[in-house]
Structure 1
Amino acid sequence: MADSPTRQPLRQVAVVLGLTAALSLLLLAFALPGVHSKPHDLRLGVVATPSTSQQIARSLDTRQPGAFEVSYPSSADAARSQIRSRDLDGALIVGRMGVTTMVTTAGSTSVATLIEGVGAQVASSQNTTSTTVDVRGFGSGDPRGAGLAAGALPLALGGWIGALVMMMVLRDPRTLIASTLAFAVVGGLALTTILRFVLGTFDGQFWPAAGAAMLGIAATAFGVIGLRTLLGAAGLGIAGLALIVLGNPLSGLTSSPSLLPQPWGAIGQYLPPGATGTLLRNVVFFDGHSTGHATAVLLAWLIVGAAFYVIAIRRGRTTQDTAEEFLDEEWGITETTHVPAHAREGHVPQHAR
């Protein structure tokens, strides 16, 4: 039924205000993390004499309270090992020959630059030289890791769009599940191939990276399918909020979760873009260290999303119902062609007999 003349202007105003609010929310979600970016509890190792170590720790706490969590590895080799295992973000080695600053650009280019600056300050205060060593770096074709930083949005949008398209064109639940898994496998291989061979973001570990990308896409897609099928338009809104509005800017891929305002940096690691980025980074550059949390988050999204879908199907909500609701609610293109339930079931109204 068409809107009355008095309701149409109100609907137009509501649409314009709603879209403006959504646009403003997107801007804030993407801009605020960068504007308020600062270090939180960066794990810095200091290898020096006890008095020098304590002096450096006090100086850091005075200049930037809460920015660094200082520990004291037993040697330079121990500090290097802890950086490779993701137990440290960087280290300062202070000796008679100067200050050696150990960083990992593969862990975070922004954090590496920040710690390198700290090393230069310490060297300047002691009137000695400063040398920087990159313990773990990106591939030769993408030394600053731009490909990995840009990967959060394609992963989120790819899983989102893939899930919606498959819900619209695939009616059978088994076919939908099988196709979603196939999409995750093929899509994960495609993204990893681009990162490895086109962009040169990393030089090895192709199959571990592919596995991480597959899990990320599957978790995203099943999350969208489960929420949309069970909760309808509200579920689609929740998925959009988690994956795009919050998930992408809070992923920390362009800087580091430790540089985002807290607790938003930590929250981002419970959403698929952030968890997928962390998993990719750690399996490729850090021999699989510190991957447990990210793997658990993605598995939870996958399993809960699949469970939501199964519950919805058992309640009688089919993929056809979901597709028709999506077209009606989001696009409004089935309103005039929608076939009533009694007609689909073969019933003819009394007045038509």
Structure 2
Amino acid sequence: MKLAAEVRNAVTPRAALLVVGVLALQLLFIASYVGALHDPKPKEVPFGVVAPASVASQAAARLADLPGDPLDPRVLADREEARRQIMDRRIDGALVIDPGGTTDTLLVASGGGTVLASALHAITTELEAAQRRTVRTVDVAPASPQDFDGLSAFYLVVGWCVGGYLLASILAISAGSRPANPQRAVIRLVVLALSALLGGLGGAIIVGPVLGALPGSVAALWGLGTLVVFAVGAVTLALQAVFGIVGIGLAVLLIVIAGNPSAGGAFPGPMLPDFWRAIGPALPPGAGTWAARSIAYFKGNALSGAMQVLAIWAVVGTVVTLVMSAVRKRAGRDDGAGHGVDDDADGAGHGDGPAGARPA
């Protein structure tokens, strides 16, 4: 009986629920990463076909009928159009058929993902061999020699995302998960913004001038990093404002468990299962990885969609944080007991100020 009483005192119902939540996150982490990455296959990859009019439609149909639908071919006017669409990130590769010879040209962009470029090479090589033809691969946007497998952009964005939710989590752990009033919420957001500026700059300098892992504008990467860190941090603050300390776990679920494996880092989007391919571009890691690769290898093309996604997360996180802090302040005034509003998730009386003090 004494042991049972000790267990009840040591493991409160709230602690037990948190343990169950951690276990759920652990299993979801395994399911998400293994589910997304255990069997990568190209699926409906946007792919161009350049050929004389007499054979272009037949070549495109042959590619469209490949088992497993790895390619989504479309006929293009000429080689320059194919190159332009690859650089605009509208397609991931193109086959230029030479009617006067037996060697065709495959255009790829390993800067968008070396694994996908290799998969396109393997598909077209096998197809051409069946036609007694050969293929020559030309990389129109090659990944840097210091960017192994084109992963540097992904790891850079993951680092920024980790910084964003850790910054917000530290603010919650050190000063209460829920800001007691809008003024304190603004202070947290300002601290987050300043940290995002420093983190964005630091990451851009490390992968650029220091390591030479990514080409492209340091200033552009700095701006991207600032937005990624702030967006992830603002969302984490918002989740904490709504759910208390549990919001940190929800941020991990959103950014790490759902966002990272769907970001197109290890395997670009066209090689992921449908669920992860669908959610990836809408989450900060996926949007950030796409934008970083566009800056590094595609002359900054196709940035607007990813930047809009990050901006929406930043705005929504900011607005929810401010609104919830205003609601919390009003609830404290309506309380009428003179004790103020407890900042902490479990009502322990920590708050942003001295314990038991009524927020200003």
Class of the TM-score when normalised by the shorter of the 2 chains? 0.7 to 0.9
User: Where in structure 2 are the equivalents of 1:1-353 lying within 5 Å?
Assistant: 4=5, 7=8, 18-95=21-98, 96-97=100-101, 98-169=103-174, 172-316=184-328, 325=344, 341=356, 344-345=357-358
How far did 1:18 drift? 5.0
Residue 333 to residue 33, structure 1, CA distance change in 2 (3 Å) = farther
Counterpart CA distance in 1 for 2:232 and 2:208 is 22
How far did 1:217 drift? 0.8
Counterpart CA distance in 2 for 1:239 and 1:232 is 12
Counterpart CA distance in 1 for 2:228 and 2:12 is 41
Bigger drift between 204-213 and 181-190 goes to 204-213
Paired position in structure 2 for 1:349? none
The alignment of Structure 1 onto Structure 2 pairs a total of residues equal to: 336
Counterpart CA distance in 2 for 1:164 and 1:14 is 19
Q: Could you state the TM-score of these two structures normalised by the residue count of structure 2?
A: 0.82
How far did 1:257 drift? 1.4
Alpha carbons 1:168, 1:323 under 8 Å: kept:
no
Counterpart CA distance in 2 for 1:272 and 1:100 is 35
Residues 141-171 of structure 1 show CA distances to partners (whole Å, capped at 9, x for unaligned) of 2253232232343222211101122344567
SS in structure 2 opposite 1:166? helix
How far did 1:10 drift? 9.3
SS in structure 1 opposite 2:104? strand
Amino acid at match of 1:67: P
Q: Percent identity?
A: 25
Alpha carbons 2:349, 2:355 under 8 Å: kept:
no
How far did 1:310 drift? 0.9
Alpha carbons 1:192, 1:209 under 8 Å: kept:
yes
Residues 216-258 of structure 1 show CA distances to partners (whole Å, capped at 9, x for unaligned) of 1110111111221233234333322111111111111111112
Counterpart CA distance in 2 for 1:280 and 1:117 is 27
SS in structure 1 opposite 2:61? helix
SS in structure 2 opposite 1:316? helix
Residues 103-158 of structure 1 show CA distances to partners (whole Å, capped at 9, x for unaligned) of 00011212111111123123312323321100001223225323223234322221
Q: Flag structure 1 segments of 5+ consecutive residues without an equivalent.
A: 347-353
Counterpart CA distance in 2 for 1:323 and 1:140 is 54
Residue 269 to residue 345, structure 1, CA distance change in 2 (3 Å) = closer
Alpha carbons 2:228, 2:284 under 8 Å: kept:
yes
Residue 198 to residue 128, structure 1, CA distance change in 2 (3 Å) = same
Q: Flag structure 2 segments of 5+ consecutive residues without an equivalent.
A: 331-339
Counterpart CA distance in 2 for 1:58 and 1:45 is 12
Alpha carbons 1:192, 1:206 under 8 Å: kept:
yes
Amino acid at match of 1:294: A
Counterpart CA distance in 1 for 2:174 and 2:229 is 19
How far did 1:38 drift? 2.1
Alpha carbons 1:168, 1:322 under 8 Å: kept:
no
Residue 282 to residue 157, structure 1, CA distance change in 2 (3 Å) = same
Counterpart CA distance in 2 for 1:94 and 1:16 is 59
